[in-house]
Amino acid sequence: MAEPEFIPADTDPASRRSDPARNLAVVVYILQALSFFVGGITGLVGVIINYVKLDDVRNTWVEQHFRWQIRTFWIGLLWTVIGIVTTPIIIGWFILLGISIWIIYRIVKGALALNDGKAPS
């Protein structure tokens, strides 16, 4: 595979918009958002894309977005499972509500940072 182009952190954010790795991160954010409507399968596809392409984005500014997306998926999955298991004792509904809000927050915050050419924080 071709070596990924390294774009320094101090590069103009507007010039980062043409980066193919950035476009891939946009696709994964969209897949994560769609997972709310299609039962989570697109979130799984997104995290698979993250893992497959992680070596291609290593040491670029997009790597932080890929790691953000991976963490969002796994922590979201963990708490979703905990929420589903605990729904019979009512607390699960609050866990599911909380994790849904948290995942939406992470997707929006990450996508906005990506749009600005910055790392999510």
Global pTM reads 0.84
Over residues 83-121, the pLDDT tens digits come to: 999 999 999 999 999 999 999 999 999 999 999 999 998
Residue ranges of the domains in the chain?
Answer: 17-114
CA-CA distances (angstroms) from residue 105 to 8, 18, 101? 27, 25, 6
Model confidence at 1: pLDDT above 90: no
Model confidence at 3: pLDDT above 80: no
Over residues 10-64, the pLDDT tens digits come to: 555 555 666 889 999 999 999 999 999 998 999 999 999 999 999 999 999 999 9
> In whole angstroms, what is the distance from residue 74 CA to residue 24 CA?
19
